[in-house]
Amino acid sequence: MKNSRSGNLHFVKLDKGEELISTVSSFANEIGVVSAFVTGIGVLKNIELGYFDVQKSAYDIKKLNGEFELVSLMGNIGRVDGKAGVHFHVVLSDKDFKCIGGHLLKADIGVTCEMVIASTDMKLERTYDPDTKLKLLSPSCCEEN
């Protein structure tokens, strides 16, 4: 990966073969970013997507082989158990331009991935929610409306 920074904006260019989730998590932890908003485009391969089944409180998993255009990555970085944790949703398109989407569990970069990480000094925390069994994001110092 390569990166560049201007103020609170970090441009991150991932290289072919790098794993997206672990590479971005490591980068965020290294540079001390624990609350951020993220977007990105590129080409991915060896992908695992999740669909959250509310009744089961668990993710159904789909594995995709081959290369897919990453037409949208959107998500955030928040503190989970004291470290930066990522939460990304993606839309992929296949060779027939059909879209496949979900919660991104893992993916390798095919060709390239161009991401923007907008860091902020908000304190976003993921904490365990017994109702859904998910770690849900909340601002830790926030007004309740």
Restricting to residues 25-54, name those near a second copy by CB under 8 A. 27, 30, 37, 39-41, 43, 49, 51-54
| Residue with smaller CB distance to a second copy, 9 or 83 | 9
Closer to a second copy at the Cβ: 16 or 83?
16
Helix (H, G, I), strand (E, B) or coil at 26: helix
Rounded least distance, CB 60 to a second copy, Å: 7
**4 is a contact residue toward a second copy (CB under 8 A):** yes
Q: Which of 2, 56, 65, 82 binds a second copy (CB under 8 A)?
A: 2
Q: Which residues pair with 51 in a beta bridge?
A: 60
Give the amino acid at 46. N
Cα separation, 35 vs 38, whole angstroms: 10
Q: Which is nearer to a second copy, 21 or 71 (CB)?
A: 71
**Contact between 62 and a second copy per CB under 8 A:** yes
Residue burial 18-56, b: 16+ Cβ < 10 Å; e: rest = eebbebbbebbeeeebbbbbbebebebbbbbbbeeeeee
Using CB under 8 A as the criterion, what x/- string covers residues 85-114 for binding a second copy? --x-xxxxxxx-xxxxxxx------xxx-x
Q: How many residues bind a second copy (CB under 8 A)?
A: 71
Distance in angstroms (rounded) separating the CA atoms of residues 109 and 64: 13
The verdict on 145 binding a second copy (CB under 8 A) reads: yes
Token couple for 6: 């201007």
